[in-house]
Structure 1
Amino acid sequence: MPAYAAQRDDERAAFRRALDAVEHGRDWKKEAAVLERYPLLPSLEALELTRRIGKAKKPDEIKADEIEAFLARWPETLAADDVRRAWLADRAGNGRWKEFRAAYAPGLGREFACHDLAARLADGEKLDFAKDWTALWESSTALPASCDGPLARSVDAGVIDGARLRQRIDRALDAGQSGVIDELVAHLPAAERPAATQIALALRDAPAALKQAATWPDDTRHRDAVVAAIKRVARRDADGAADAYAKLKARYQFSDKQKGDVAAAFALYRATEFDADALERLASVPAASQTDGTREWRVRVALAASDWTAALAALDALSDTQKADAEWRYLRARVLAKLDRKSEAAPVFAALAREANFYGFLAADWSGEAYTICPLTLAADRDAEKSLREGALDRAFEWRAVDRLRDARREWDWAMARFTPPQRRLAADLAYREGWYDRAVFALNKGDELKLYEQRFPLAREPQIRRESHETGLDPAWTYAIIRAESAWVEDARSSANALGLMQLLPGTAAQLAKTENIAYRRAEDLFLPDTNIALGTRYLSQMAEKYNGAPWLASAAYNAGPAPVARWLAARGDLEPDFFIASIPYRETREYVARVLAFSVIYDWRMNGKALALAARLPRNGQAYAAPKDDTPRKAVVCPAAAEPADAASATAAPGS
């Protein structure tokens, strides 16, 4: 082992011991000599210092000089930011505003920005709305508690007047943020408070608001509250909302715009249930109340009914922004072909076929063209790369080396926020080459970076993925695509539903699979082990595929939404062609997921084989048998015409088929 590597191993071992000591309140200084040049020494010192700040029982227990010395010793580091935040919170909590201002630096977030306003007010300064409040005021979420004092002072001083309060309430109403309104009610004139309270209630508990609405006065703001409540109730109970609206119309003089907005809400939520009158309702919504949602669902309902004339009319009614989206261009071409207007459909398919997204791949299948994928490569710059590694990136990689992935990502994100675009690309490539794939995936997300397919679609763990896929009858490209869509290669990913790891398995599902498949599995945290996760995940994916005769598009939908919803959709619309069926999936997340997975399957197939199985072949009709491709299965050529401008497969938002 090289001397440097041995030294770094010793440092990591010492750091682990020191970190454990700090986290358990023991002295870590005996390890300090070994760690003198170790990249994570400032993080270790910061952890100890922030813990001391948090446990201090008296304001003067820790001196400002000690904080200043630390900040001077480790300038421009995440460790310094952590200490600064802890110190500022402590000084603000103790009303030590002079020390707060001495240590404050902009860019630490809204909480500390408001503490800074309080500090300046304590020093007798006057606030200015444009300079001090604009950024805070335009946010769509509630202000932190540290803003309460400065807000009250600013209202009293007229810096924030009634018009600005009402403006923020209106924005909160549009954004559905009841907490924003709650924080402002007390600052309104007394006559305006009841209506604002009811608007907040309508957003927070719409059924309760509708029960109370029969006793509210008929004024502009109370009408806003009633309409907001009706629209929110309609999401889950369109019939109940309609009944409530019918009763309240006699009490309130709703404006034409409000009536139109209610009609749009009823039409939209009936459309997602594919009610018989949904198409008629959507088409009759007044123009002023039409939204992107009502316009797109008019298309989806028409497609689900195979009413091609109505579908084309709905496509014509989309906004210009919507019409430019690949999904709607593709569906327009498909509908034109259904109406036997193939000469009009052909140029749309041809243009789409030059894009590297889900619709582009399917358009290429319809037009008989090769797939267009134009990969770029990053030029090596070892000197620049070396300079990047000398600071925060080195610390990020070290956190990863000692198995502290959350800390590693914090350090990485802190560094990336300070890099130039060329530096960020170099850092992403470095992470890719170091096997930290998720950092590259997340970093390369716009412009020409989307063409860096090697880094964005890594062929990680290929021997295992090929082996596990073949053992379970899966296409390895599809397995890769599921991993990429589920976790983007974040090994310790955890969803809000507690799905874990690369393939996002629920612990209960994993335990059941492990038992039936005789795979070693002891506890939920085992799903953070890639070998275990992929072994179990491929078997679960195979079970999904078996439910649908192997069809990847249906199995992908079930992997995302669960088999029960897919069963309902198939019972209602299972005779649709796959592309139209997927366009009619009520869950936006699932529509987008299926599109992503199948587009990623094409890209991974190309990455592994130089060619790709036709996407249309991955979309058998419901009930038709599908078998994973083999090595000798015919695949389509992938080309890069000189004028091609490929788009990102990840941007696809729904999945068509043939």
Structure 2
Amino acid sequence: MSELTIEQQRKVFSHAESLAHNPKSQIYKRSLAQLDGYPLRPYVEQKTLIKYPYMANQKAIESFLDKYKYSPLDWPLRKKWLAYLAKQKKYDLFENYYRDIGDTAINCQHAEILLKDEKSKQQAFNLAERYWVVGKSQPKACDTLFRAWKKAGKQTPELVWKRLSLAADGGDHTLIPYLKTLLPTKQQYLADIWLKVRRSPSQVSRISNFPNKIANLEQEIISYGLKRLVWQDRDLALRSWEKLSKTFKFSDEQKKSIFHRFAISLALINHDQAELWLEKASHYKADEELARWHLAHVLRQLNWQQALQVIQSIPEGVVEANIFQYWQARSYENLKAADLATENYAKLAEERHYYGFMASGKLSQMANLNDRPLTPSQQNIEQVTQFPAAQRALEFRNIGRQVSARREWNFLQSQLTPEQKATAAVIADQLGWHDQAIFGFSKSGYLDDLARRFPMPFDTHLEYNAKKNNIELAWAFAIARRESSFMPDAASGVGALGLMQIMPGTARYLTKKKVSKSFLFNPEKNVELGTQYMRYLLDKMNNNPILATASYNAGWRRVQKWLPEKDPIPMDLWIETIPYKETRNYVKAVLAYKQIYSQHLGNKNNSFKQLVKMEIGPKG
């Protein structure tokens, strides 16, 4: 064990990483000795072995991979080692160390080795099919395997068609011309149709595109095209279906898929044929999405009796969802069946979720939080923190390497029991690692520790800026919780950054200047802009927090398009018919989070008492 302090070892670790390329140097050897017992020492060793994945280091690599199997320390070295062994034609060794690490090139090399043995040849061909029948190009390392597979007669027209369909339907459509050449001559015209419809779904409306030579395959393309077209031009899609359905005999599975897509697309905009298509789609077994939109459509008409009929027709296992329980109660309420409504509301109000809070608002009672803090023993806490992955994660966090810390902490979850996962979440919360505490409780299944699942970090900044912008503090907390789980360096796939997930364009508009990523990753600056943006949206939306919340997710211009044309509609119905699923769920979550934070902040009122009476007015 090194006699250095932990602070000294951190400095040595940083220096040792830069020396990893020169493991024979005395400075490197001395540094490693000084890191004895330091949790991150294996990362220095890994870096050296990755730099020198040679036979001379076989024993060291084998020992390392065995010790850190499946951890974040494993796959970078295993990938490098397997690539070296394949290049050196050390096939037996390759197979000894091989496991699927999600690298297609390595997987193909494994399958190619299996080809060399008659006993495992069929297994290799099965793998070749799995890797070839995908909607994208594969690495060149797979070419030899694919050639052998094709030469053995395994590349059938059916598999070519399957891959072409995958490439056309959501994959890389530039593969289509190549795959066309692999089809039998009589089928090659289908590739041209696929390409046309992929580029422009409206091509499905041109009946002349479909000569009905190979009806079952043409129907696949038509089905794909119609399901895309109905989102772009609903009336053209309806006219096209009317014509095409007279020429082609679509399978029940194809009809189910087409009807489902048409029904939801038409219901979204309250199309005059929505009811017809919802009924058509409901002849097949309805899933929750279809049932929800069927219900939403009849609710738009304020047809409460039909709403009950729709709910009663929903398959068992779906109808138990809290959304249907709530709207059943609402239907009873509007049909003057007060006792049934109250009974349903009372049952829902026992639960902690959006619909439960809505029910509590209907009953004019306080929302039930069901808060049961978890109190793991000190022994359980120490047991979890003794896991090497936990020690590596926490040390990475101490030195500011958040991505590596999360990677190790995520790996730790795979080693824990549900009880230990909940304990790990408590540990994360105690350390102020709020995003991992929130995710940890979710993974453990323990959801009743509300103080830890809904923490209040950055409270000084949030409170100051909420007051400055005249917005509710509970709302600001709710937005930050929903946007990033309080992860200061959160980055979304669309470019939103930081605690409150500010888009760089929004930041530029608010500050009147270009801002950097580091600026938006600063919690204080991010909160300042996020709350300023919330105020901006409130002003745009006539001080309506429901519309402002929806706008935070979808943009205020889009939300304005969703407002009713004429008469006001109840707030809960407007939320239920928001066209975007992401925004619909976002608004429900933020409203529920806001109530939880409001009660945590000492507010004795249930905001849902006002929300259940609110109406959303028409545009303008």
Between the aligned partners of 1:328 and 1:24, the Cα distance in structure 2 is: 65
Q: Does 1:562 find its partner at 2:555?
A: yes
1:575 to partner: Cα distance: 0.9
| Contact in 2 for aligned 1:603/1:612 (Cα 8 Å) | no
Measured at CA, do residues 67 and 286 of structure 1 come closer, stay the same or move farther in structure 2, by a change above 3 Å? closer
- Supply the RMSD in Å over aligned alpha carbons: 4.2
Distance 1:351 1:497 in 2: 40
User: How much has 1:463 moved relative to structure 2?
Assistant: 2.6
Give the alignment's TM-score, normalised by structure 2: 0.84
Distance (Å, rounded) in 2 between the aligned partners of 1:148 and 1:501:
43
Distance 1:187 1:383, change over 3 A: farther
Aligned to 2:585: 592
Aligned partners of 1:349 and 1:24: how far apart in 2? Answer: 70
- 1:535 alignment partner in structure 2: 528
The residue type paired with residue 513 of structure 1 is L
Q: Please list the CA deviations of residues 235-259 of structure 1 after superposition, one character each: whole Å capped at 9, or x if unmatched.
A: 2222333344455456534456645
Instruction: Spell out, residue by residue over 1:102-152, the C-alpha distance to the aligned partner (whole angstroms, 9 max, x if none).
Output: 322466677655543333333444256699769969x99879656676577
SS in 1 for 2:428: helix
Of 578, 594, 598 in structure 2, the residue corresponding to residue 601 of structure 1 is 594
- Aligned counterpart for 2:379 among listed residues 362, 376, 383: 383
Tell me what 1:13 maps to. Answer: 11
Change (3 A) 1:191 1:348: farther
Amino acid at match of 1:373: L
Question: 2:326 — aligned with what?
Answer: 330
Deviation at 1:194, TM superposition (A): 4.5
**1:47 is matched with which residue?**
47
Match of 1:67 in 2: 61
Q: Relative to 1, partners in 2 of residues 1:72 and 1:277: Cα closer, same or farther, differing over 3 Å?
A: closer
Distance 1:276 1:167, change over 3 A: same
Judging changes above 3 Å, is the alpha-carbon distance between structure 1 residues 134 and 397 closer, same or farther for their aligned structure 2 residues? farther
Offset at residue 603 of structure 1 (A): 1.4
- Per the alignment, residue 277 of structure 1 pairs with 273
Structure 2 unmatched ranges of 5 or more: none
Q: Take 1:23 and 1:490, find their aligned partners in 2: how far apart are those partners? A: 34
The SS at the match of 2:317 is: helix
Q: 2:500 aligns with which of 490, 500, 503?
A: 503
Q: Where does residue 219 of structure 2 map in the other structure?
A: 223
Q: Which residue matches 1:487?
A: 484
- Cα gap change, 1:578 to 1:24, in 2 (>3 Å): farther
Q: Report Cα offsets for 1:377-405 as digits up to 9, x if no partner.
A: 33333334334334111111122222221
Deviations 1:278-331 (A, max 9, x none): 224323446138554443222212222323333333333333233111112111
Are residues 1:459 and 2:456 paired? Answer: yes
Partner of 1:84: 78
Paired residues of 1:181 and 1:197 also in contact (CA < 8 A): no
Partner of 1:631: none
Q: Go from structure 1 to structure 2 and tell me whether the alpha carbon gap of 1:332 and 1:414 turns closer, same or farther (over 3 Å shift).
A: same
1:572 equivalent to 2:568? Answer no
Letter in 2 for 1:568: K
Q: Is 2:401 the counterpart of 1:407?
A: no
Cα distance in 2, alignment partners of residues 469 and 486 from structure 1: 17
Q: Among residues 353, 366, 373, which one is paired with 1:370 in the alignment?
A: 366
Q: Which has the higher contact order (CA 8 A, sep 6+)?
A: 1
For residues 129 and 375 of structure 2, what CA distance do their matches in structure 1 show? 39
Deviation at 1:604, TM superposition (A): 1.6
**How many residue pairs were aligned?**
609
SS at match of 2:115: helix
**Residue 294 of structure 2: aligned partner:** 298
Structure-2 residue corresponding to 1:630: none
Q: CA deviation at 1:440?
A: 1.3
Residues in 1 aligned to 2:263 and 2:66: alpha-carbon distance in whole angstroms: 61
Contact preservation (8 Å) 1:179, 1:200: no
1:418-473 CA distance string (max 9 Å, x none): 22222222212111111111111112116751112222111222232222212221
- The question of whether the paired residues in 1 share the 8 Å contact of 2:349 and 2:357 is answered with yes
**In the alignment, residue 604 of structure 1 is paired with which amino acid?**
Y
Partner of 2:283: 287
Check conservation: 2:364, 2:609, Cα contact below 8 A: no
Letter in 2 for 1:238: R
Residue in 2 that maps onto 1:312: 308
The residue number in structure 2 matching 1:629 is: none
Whole-angstrom distance in 1 between the partners of 2:202 and 2:446? 49
Distance 2:124 2:367 in 1: 52
Query: Which amino acid in 2 is paired with 1:508?
Result: G
Aligned equivalent of 1:639: none
Contact between 1:353 and 1:360, CA under 8 Å: does it hold in 2?
yes
Equivalent of residue 265 in structure 1, options 247, 261, 267: 261
Deviation at 1:542, TM superposition (A): 1.6
Residues 1:433 and 2:426 aligned together: no
Q: Which amino acid letter does the alignment assign opposite residue 302 of structure 1? A: V
Q: What residue number does 1:56 align with?
A: none
SS at match of 1:560: helix
Deviation per residue, 1:317-373 (Å, 9 max, x gap) = 333233111112111211221122223222211111111100001111212343222
CA distance in 2, matches of 1:11, 1:87: 29
- Residues 197/398 of structure 1: CA separation in 2 closer, same or farther (3 Å cut): farther
Whole-angstrom distance in 2 between the partners of 1:510 and 1:141: 38
| Cα distance change on mapping 1:293 and 1:23 into 2, 3 Å | farther
